[in-house]
Amino acid sequence: MSANQTIFIFIYLLFILRVSIIYGFDAGFIELVSTRQQNKDTTHYGLTVCALCRVTLDFLKSTYNIDTTYLDTKFDETNGQCQENTVQSIINLLRTSQLKGINPWVYSFTIKTIASANTKTDLKEIFKEESHFDSESFIGGSKLIMKRYQSTLDAILKADNYDQGRKTFGEMLHTIQDFYSHTNFIELEYKSPSDVLGKRIFQIDEFASINTKTCISCNDEQCQINTNIDENIHKTKLLTSGYFIPIGFNLFKKSKPKGKCSHGGSFDSTQDDEPTGGINKDKLNSIHGHLHYQAASMAYKATVKILTQLRQDISDESFALFLTLKKNLNSLIISIDTSCSIGNYIDLAKDISINIVNQYGQLEFAPHNYILISFNSNYAKIIINSRKPNDLINAIQKLNSCENYTSTLGVMYYSSLIEGFIQSEYSSVIYTFTDSAANDGHLKYKARALLRNKRLVIYSFLGQQMKKLLLKSKFDFVGQLDGNDDGTDLPSISGGLTYPITVNDRPVVLEFVLRRLEWTRLQNLVIFTCNSTSITFYVDSSINELHIDISSTGEITDINQIELLRPDNSIYPLTTNLVNTKHLYMWKILQPQVGGWRLTTSKLPQAFNFNVQIQGKSSVLCSSSLQKDMEANVDSNGYTELTTEPLIDSDLLILTTCENVNFTYANISLVNQYGQVIESYSPLKLDQLDIITKIRVPRQAFRIQTLLQLSNGIRIQRIEKQLISPTMFTIELTNQPYILSIGETIQMNYTLKSSLSEQVYIRLQLSDTLNLIGINGIEKNFTFTNETSQMELFTLPIDFQQKSINDMIIFTLSTYNNKTDTFSYENDEIASVYFELNSSSIPRTTNYFIFFLLSAGFFFK
């Protein structure tokens, strides 16, 4: 590594620790205080949530004719901050309005998704001037807003992908909001938001030229008492923004142009260059902090304005889906192996699939879209992606049950998952049917990255040929990501199941699917895999149905091997309410006793692993996620969600939110895949809105379990579906977004780091969802100690003719074990790429810096 690279990386790490100081309103992340406070900074997160709530109330009133008078009087927005717990109040209103076709179940999550996409921009696009309107980047900033706005429209109107649309829209909001805190728009005393942002690109006569003086010097309080904007700028109403060069980066970058404003702040190397001072209004104590509330209020109005524009551009029906107010929610995906390997089994798969669709179609909360995928040894392709369930049924009926006779070569199982994942909504369900091993195991990590990104759940039904293969493999698939290309590991990690079925199992499989249809109310109490256990779980008074499922690749021959004790220690008769096959036993217990139940499977044959899932139908909803603590920075007020796997032995936070419950005590536990508690923690902060818990990341894979206690002593137990896999390597991508014109090449420089002291052998795989990098992507192997810096190119071909205007690049990292000659998954990350398809096709190369931060303490999403 060169000396310049070493200095650059050191400065980058120093800079990221202070990132919240310089870029836009304080990110805010997940705010700890829901009510407005005097002398409190307005944050990106807070004003985004506030604007979304305002637009939601207006939408409910005008579209659904819902009386919002009470909430309108409570709303009382000031300085971009909302009064009271507005989100929860809206959810309560939605629950009372369900008869009007309103969906109350995922609104709070949708708000968090959009607002979190906003705050992560500060961390993922640190060095992008146009992302923050720094350094007079008015053309680049307005172009980026237009690009992301158009990408939002295309995701919704063309691709029917609302999940991607929400995230892209949230990223765009950050740049819009920074316009008001980083430019002189407020100093020019405009009374309403800009008419340019989201409509067109700034013209060169609307902002100061590079040779135009824009600021005069000021120091400390004088910057707030007397304006430091040049008099001619006031007269001409030209826009300008502060130049920002981090301390140390001036070794690589020229100083600001003569006569230009600085961003200002202790980490800005230009603030002492003439003209001294700065103009940022990010916080109350910023150099222009006296205008912070004015900038925040204008940013709030601009956010409401662009949301209103989006509603007009996509229609009320689509806007209701964007806010997840309609009862059409996630996607139903069915993937069927047509390689001729399963004989009569294909007819069973088709029959079950049609019944799945019919059952889903009768639900109050039906799927948003229906997707069918066919795969064999040569290809995996989407047969249908439609909002109409009958289209899926017709496609299944027409499916050729024997398209390829080369099943001995394996099938493209992971390719089929990827096809479905790309098209799916967040938190969707995929059912797969196969009786062949996968021949595309090299795509497993790409599938896993998309699985984790969208929190999908896989249920994999296997034929008898695959059953025999599994029984030879000692039944442990959770950690063996490269050990077997049979697909059983991803269902386990997602919180789904894998088990064999026969042609006689149709009624049981249908019942299995039927019980999972009302996913909006099903809350997970227990998920684990083991060959023997005795575990206590708690049933609360909100649960009116208790579902217990035990499955295995081996046969369960005697239910007397299983014991279930009620809270009063009486034995629940397991012959009651039982539906089963040789591989799956299911019980549905209506109005279960409240209290601690105990399940014992220690009498089962220990040669087999068993998957145990216990769910309750309940209105008490809890969700937990890993968060990176930003409180170490005095200029930051919260946390940001971690989007990679966590680093072993690192300190993180868990944010837990529970709805429809008032509790007096909470305990957060990390539970391994075998159902054993690794560690339990008392919350760092506890109220009826958020539970914040500080944890030390263990070496074992884990799920997050929540245990609440009510004032009457009743305990509420919930657990997250997805299994989290700690690593010694982390990935951090920065300097996004990546924007390419046709024929353009971007040069991506990245640094891999390991927190291990010894030499490591790393495999880096790069792929993308449009396969522009190639069907198999790019694979590189590196041997290094501590870190290595490398480079990769990504080109948008001159002959690119697809309608997509964006792509996702997927980075996956694995380590090599020379004793077993296998690779083990370590981490992944996904970066968005936006295409400028209408720009001139002039081949060029653009340099971007991408860092994979793989050492302790440096992961920031």
Max CA separation in the chain (angstroms)? 88
Helical axes 107-119 vs 162-182, angle rounded to 10°: 50
Q: What pLDDT does 16 receive?
A: 44
Selection from 244-248, 440-444, 474-478 with the highest mean pLDDT: 440-444
Q: pLDDT confidence of 259, banded at 50, 70, 90? A: very high
Nearest Cα to 706, choosing from 714, 717, 696? Answer: 717
- Residue 227, φ and ψ in degrees, nearest 5: -60, 140
Q: How far apart are CA 726 and CA 693, in angstroms?
A: 18
Q: What pLDDT does 26 receive?
A: 66
Domain ranges for the chain: 43-322, 328-520, 522-619, 621-719, 738-849
Q: What pLDDT does 630 receive?
A: 59
Q: pLDDT confidence of 693, banded at 50, 70, 90? A: very high
Nearest Cα to 758, choosing from 781, 786, 782? Answer: 786
Q: How far apart are CA 719 and CA 710, in angstroms?
A: 18
Strands 497-500 and 457-462: parallel
Mean pLDDT of the region 470-491: 50
Selection from 220-234, 282-296, 480-494 with the highest mean pLDDT: 282-296
Q: pLDDT tens for residues 784-799? A: 888 888 888 888 888 8
Q: How far apart are CA 45 and CA 630, in angstroms?
A: 14
Handedness of CA 702, 704, 710, 715 (dihedral sign): negative
Q: pLDDT confidence of 254, banded at 50, 70, 90? A: low
Q: What pLDDT does 860 receive?
A: 23
Mean pLDDT of the region 766-789: 88
Q: What pLDDT does 456 receive?
A: 92
Q: Compute the mean pLDDT over every residue in the chain, rounded to the nearest whole number.
A: 82
**Is 839 a residue whose pLDDT tops 50?**
no
Taking phi over 0 as left and psi of -120 to 50 as alpha, with beta for the rest, 654 belongs to beta
Does residue 270 or residue 234 have the better pLDDT? 234
Q: How far apart are CA 139 and CA 146, in angstroms?
A: 11
Residues 123-140 as b/e (b if ≥16 CB within 10 A, e otherwise) read bbbbbbbbbbbbbbbbeb
Q: pLDDT tens for residues 530-553? A: 877 789 999 999 999 999 999 887
Mean pLDDT of the region 812-824: 81
Q: How far apart are CA 751 and CA 252, in angstroms?
A: 18
Instruction: Give the three-state DSSP class for 777.
Output: coil
Q: What pLDDT does 714 receive?
A: 95
Q: What pLDDT does 31 receive?
A: 44
Does residue 819 or residue 413 have the better pLDDT? 413
Q: How far apart are CA 590 and CA 789, in angstroms?
A: 59
Q: What pLDDT does 735 receive?
A: 66
Does residue 202 or residue 11 have the better pLDDT? 202
Do the beta carbons of residue 373 and residue 383 sit within 8 Å? yes
- In CATH, 522-619 is 3.40.50.2000: no
Q: What pLDDT does 509 receive?
A: 84
Q: pLDDT tens for residues 360-372? A: 766 667 788 889 9
Mean pLDDT of the region 209-233: 90
CA angle 600/565/678 to nearest 5° reads 50
Mean pLDDT of the region 576-589: 89
- The 3-state secondary structure of 247-308 reads CCHHHCCCCCCCCCCECCCCCECCCCCCCCCCCCCCCCCCCCHHHHHHHHHHHHHHHHHHHH
Percent of the chain with pLDDT over 90: 37
Q: Which fold has domain 621-719?
A: Immunoglobulin-like (2.60.40)
Could you give the strand order of the β-sheet that contains 665-671, starting from the edge strand earlier in sequence? Answer: 677-681, 665-671, 703-709, 715-719
Mean pLDDT of the region 759-766: 89
- Of the listed ranges 15-19, 498-502, 504-508, 561-565, the least confidently predicted one is 15-19
In the DSSP assignment, the letter for residue 648 is T
Mean pLDDT of the region 266-292: 87
- Residue 276, φ and ψ in degrees, nearest 5: -75, 165
Percent of the chain with pLDDT over 70: 84
Q: pLDDT confidence of 250, banded at 50, 70, 90? A: low
Site of tokens 């021949």: 439
Q: What pLDDT does 84 receive?
A: 62
Mean pLDDT of the region 180-209: 96
Q: What pLDDT does 688 receive?
A: 63
Nearby residues of 390 by Cβ (< 8 Å), 6 or more positions away? none
**Is 572 a residue whose pLDDT tops 90?**
yes
Q: pLDDT confidence of 855, banded at 50, 70, 90? A: very low
Same fold, 621-719 and 738-849: yes
Mean pLDDT of the region 251-266: 80
Tokens of 474: 């000692």
* Cα dihedral 418, 421, 427, 432 in deg (nearest 10): -60
Q: How far apart are CA 186 and CA 46, in angstroms?
A: 20
Do the beta carbons of residue 548 and residue 586 sit within 8 Å? yes
Q: What pLDDT does 174 receive?
A: 94
Does residue 692 or residue 606 have the better pLDDT? 692
CATH for 738-849 (3.40.50.1370, 3.40.190.10, 3.10.129.10, 2.60.40.10): 2.60.40.10
The CATH superfamily label for domain 328-520 reads: von Willebrand factor, type A domain (3.40.50.410)
Tokens of 60: 């409910």
**Is 145 a residue whose pLDDT tops 80?**
yes
In the DSSP assignment, the letter for residue 332 is E
- Residue 561, φ and ψ in degrees, nearest 5: -75, -10
- Residue 38, φ and ψ in degrees, nearest 5: -70, 140
Q: What pLDDT does 86 receive?
A: 86
Do the beta carbons of residue 564 and residue 618 sit within 8 Å? no
Q: What pLDDT does 473 receive?
A: 57
Nearest Cα to 215, choosing from 229, 233, 236, 231? Answer: 229
Do the beta carbons of residue 273 and residue 227 sit within 8 Å? no
Q: What pLDDT does 575 receive?
A: 85
Q: What pLDDT does 13 receive?
A: 46
- Residue 604, φ and ψ in degrees, nearest 5: -70, 155
Q: pLDDT tens for residues 624-662? A: 999 887 554 333 345 777 878 998 999 999 989 887 788
Query: How many other C-beta atoms lie within 10 A of the C-beta of residue 801?
Result: 7
**Is 820 a residue whose pLDDT tops 80?**
no
Does residue 279 or residue 99 have the better pLDDT? 279
Query: How many other C-beta atoms lie within 10 A of the C-beta of residue 39?
Result: 6
Mean pLDDT of the region 672-680: 94
Strands 651-659 and 639-641: unpaired
Site of tokens 């990221």: 16
Selection from 64-73, 87-96, 292-301, 757-766 with the highest mean pLDDT: 292-301
Q: What pLDDT does 301 receive?
A: 97
Instruction: Give the three-state DSSP class for 193.
Output: coil
**Is 620 a residue whose pLDDT tops 50?**
yes
**Is 214 a residue whose pLDDT tops 90?**
yes
Q: What pLDDT does 120 receive?
A: 81
Residues 752-780 as b/e (b if ≥16 CB within 10 A, e otherwise) read bbbbeeeebebbbbbbbbbebbeeebeee
Report the chain's C-alpha Rg in angstroms: 28
Q: pLDDT tens for residues 366-416? A: 788 889 999 988 889 999 999 888 898 888 888 876 766 555 567 889 999
**Is 143 a residue whose pLDDT tops 50?**
yes
Task: Calculate the alpha carbon distances from 333 to 349, 383, 419, 678 in Å.
Answer: 13, 11, 10, 34
Strand pairing partners for 215? 229
Q: How far apart are CA 713 and CA 708, in angstroms?
A: 10
- The 3-state secondary structure of 349-397 reads HHHHHHHHHHHHHCCCCCCCEEEEEEECCCCEEEEEEECCHHHHHHHHH
Nearest Cα to 267, choosing from 54, 445, 489, 16? Answer: 16
Q: How far apart are CA 45 and CA 175, in angstroms?
A: 13
**Is 842 a residue whose pLDDT tops 50?**
no
Q: What pLDDT does 127 receive?
A: 73
Q: What pLDDT does 387 receive?
A: 87
